[in-house]
Amino acid sequence: MSESGKDPLFSGKNMKLLSTPLNDENPITVQVLGICSALAVTAMLEPAVVLAIAVVAVMGAANVIISLLRNTIPNRIRIIVQLVVIASLVILVDQILQAFLYDVSRQLSVFVGLIITNCIIMGRLEAFALSNKPWPSFLDGIGNAAGYGWILIVVGFFRELLGSGTLWGYPVMETLGVYNFGYEDNGFMILPPMALITVGVIIWVQRSRNRKLIESK
Amino acid sequence: MEELTNIFVRSVFIDNMVFAYFLGMCSYLAVSRTVSTANGLGIAVVFVLGFTVPLNYLIENYFLAEGALVWLGPRFADVDLSFLSFILFIAVIASMVQLVEMIVEKFVPNLYSSLGIFLPLIAVNCAILGGSLFMQEREYANIGQASVFGIGSGVGFYLAIVGIAAIREKIRYSNVPPPLRGLGITFIVTGLMGIAFMSFMGIAL
C-alpha cells in the first residue's frame, strides 16, 4: 500500500476499501465483529440510526488518529494506546449525545460506552490503520462502520415496523389502516431474542444471494 | 442475604449478559465451536468479572461519582468526574486482566495453559465493560452486592457459552441449509435459547 499516496483520492482501490465492507466483508454478517451493541439497540429505528452514526464518527476519527500515530506507537503498548484513543472519542460522542439528544442517549444507556469495546473498531485499528496511511484508513473506517450501520438500521426497521407498527415513532400501520383487517402488531419482535433471529435471517438472505460466503461444514 | 441471592439469580438468569443484553457476543460466537474451549473462556470471564466489578465499584464511589471525593476535604464535595468513567473503567479492566493472567500463570499453571489466548482477549470482551457500566447505572448499595452481581453475570455468560458450544457440536451432524451453515444457524439457535431464558422473567426471591 506504500504507493497509495500517489493515487487520486477516489481511485478504484480506495473506493474498494469503502465498498467491500458493505457486502463481501460485512463486519457483522461475515467477520462476526461488533455484534454486541448491534442487537441491543435495534428494537426501535431511531436509536439504531443514532448509534450507527456515532460508530461511523468514532471509527473514522480513531482510524485517522491511529494511522497518523502509527510510526510513533511502540508495538508493546499499542492496545492501551488504541483503547485510550477510542475511549476519548467515545466520551466526546457521549457528551454530545447527552447535550443534544438526551432522550436517545437515555435509551442507548450503556451501549454508547460499549462502543469502546466494539470489536470492529479495535479490529480495524489493528488490521488496517496501524499499517496504512490516514486517507485509506479513514475510508476503511467509514466503510466498515457503514457496513455495521446498515445491518443495524435494517434490523431496527423491521423490528420497529413489525413489533410496534411504527417507524421513527410515526404510526405507519395505523395510517395504512391494516388494523381494520384484523392485523395485529407482533409484540414478540421487540423482545431481545428476535434481534438474534432477525440477524440470522439477514445472514441467510445475504448468503443465499452471495453464495461465495457460504461456510463449509 | 436474601437481597444478595436475589441479585445473583437475577444476573444469572433474568438479566443474562448474552441473552438479554447481547454482551460478549463476539467471543461467544467465535469461541463456541467446542465445549472444552468454551469452558475455559467461561471460567476466565467469571474470574475477571468477579474482580473488576467490585474494583470499579470502589473507583466509582470514591473517585468518580458526584460528591465522591468528599473524603479529600469539604471543598471537593461538588466535584463530578463521572465523564471520566469510561476511560478509567477500561484502564482498570485492561490492567486487571493482565494481573489475573500473571496470578493464574504463577499459581494455577494448568488452568493457565488451558485458557491460552482467551485470557488476554477478555480485555476487549464487551461483557466485562458492560458489567461495570451496568453496575454504575443500577447503583448497587454496597460492594457485596456489586461483587455478587459481577460473579452472577459471569456465571450467566458461562452457562450461555457452554450451552451453545454443546448445541453447535451436535448441530454439525444435522442437515442445515447451506446459506445458514455456521454463523446463521448459531444466531437463530441463540435466539431460541434466549426465548427459553425469558421464561425465567419475573422470578424474584
Rounded Cα distance between A173 and A183, Å, is: 9
pLDDT tens-digit series, residues A139-177: 888 888 888 888 888 888 888 888 888 888 788 777 887
Angle in degrees, CA A123, B159, B119, rounded to 5: 40
Asked whether residue A15 is assigned to any structural domain, the reply reads no
Rounded Cα distance between B73 and B114, Å, is: 48
Asked whether residue A217 is assigned to any structural domain, the reply reads no
Question: What one-letter code names the amino acid at B120?
Answer: P
Backbone angles phi, psi at A170, to 5 degrees: -90, 125
Asked whether residue A19 is assigned to any structural domain, the reply reads no
At residue A1, does pLDDT exceed 50? no
* DSSP-assigned letter for residue B31: S
Computed over every residue of chain B, the mean pLDDT equals 83
Q: A116-126: string of b/e by CB count within 10 Å (b at 16+)? A: bbbbbbbbbbe
Structure pTM? 0.80
The alpha carbon of residue B187 is apart from the nearest alpha carbon of chain A, in Å, by: 5
Q: What is the pLDDT of residue A6?
A: 54
Percent of chain A with pLDDT over 90: 2
Rounded Cα distance between A163 and A185, Å, is: 6
Section A182-198 average pLDDT: 82
At residue B104, does pLDDT exceed 80? no
Q: Is A75 helix (H, G, I), strand (E, B) or coil?
A: helix
Rounded Cα distance between B44 and B42, Å, is: 5
pLDDT tens-digit series, residues B41-83: 888 888 888 888 998 888 888 887 777 777 777 777 777 777 7
Angle, helix A78-100 to helix A119-127, in steps of 10 degrees: 140
Tell me what ipTM this predicted complex has: 0.76
- Residue A202 domain boundaries: 27-210
Q: What is the pLDDT of residue B204?
A: 64
User: Where are the strands (E) in B10-83, listed by range?
Assistant: none
Is residue A93 within 8 A of residue A112, CB to CB? The reply is yes
Rounded Cα distance between B38 and B54, Å, is: 25
Q: What is the pLDDT of residue A2?
A: 42
Asked whether residue A194 is assigned to any structural domain, the reply reads yes
Asked whether residue A10 is assigned to any structural domain, the reply reads no
Percent of chain B with pLDDT over 70: 95
Q: Which residue has the higher pLDDT, B158 or A80?
A: B158
Rounded Cα distance between B62 and A140, Å, is: 41
Question: What one-letter code names the amino acid at A171?
Answer: P
The alpha carbon of residue B130 is apart from the nearest alpha carbon of chain A, in Å, by: 7
Q: Which of A103-107, B110-114, B119-123 has the highest mean pLDDT?
A: A103-107
Q: Which residue has the higher pLDDT, A109 or A108?
A: A108
Asked whether residue A77 is assigned to any structural domain, the reply reads yes
Least confident of A157-166, B109-118, B143-152: B109-118
For chain B, positions 19-38, list CB contacts with chain A under 8 A: 19-26, 29-30
CB neighbours of residue B68 within 10 Å: 19
Backbone angles phi, psi at A167, to 5 degrees: -135, 120
Q: B4 exposed, middle or buried (CB, 10 Å; 0-12, 13-18, 19+)?
A: middle
Q: How far is CA A103 from CA A39, A131, B71, in A?
A: 19, 39, 34
Q: B165-187: string of b/e by CB count within 10 Å (b at 16+)? A: bebbeebeeeeeebbbbbbbbbb
Q: Which three cell numbers stand for residue B1?
A: 442475604
The reply to whether B178 touches chain A by the CB within 8 Å rule is yes
Among B15, B18, B26, the strongest candidate for a mutation testing the A interface, having the largest count of A CBs within 10 A, is: B26
Asked whether residue A89 is assigned to any structural domain, the reply reads yes
Section A26-45 average pLDDT: 76
Computed over every residue of chain A, the mean pLDDT equals 81
Instruction: Please count the structural domains in chain A.
Output: 1
Is residue A155 within 8 A of residue A42, CB to CB? The reply is yes
At residue B118, does pLDDT exceed 80? no
For chain A, positions 33-72, list CB contacts with chain B under 8 A: 33-40
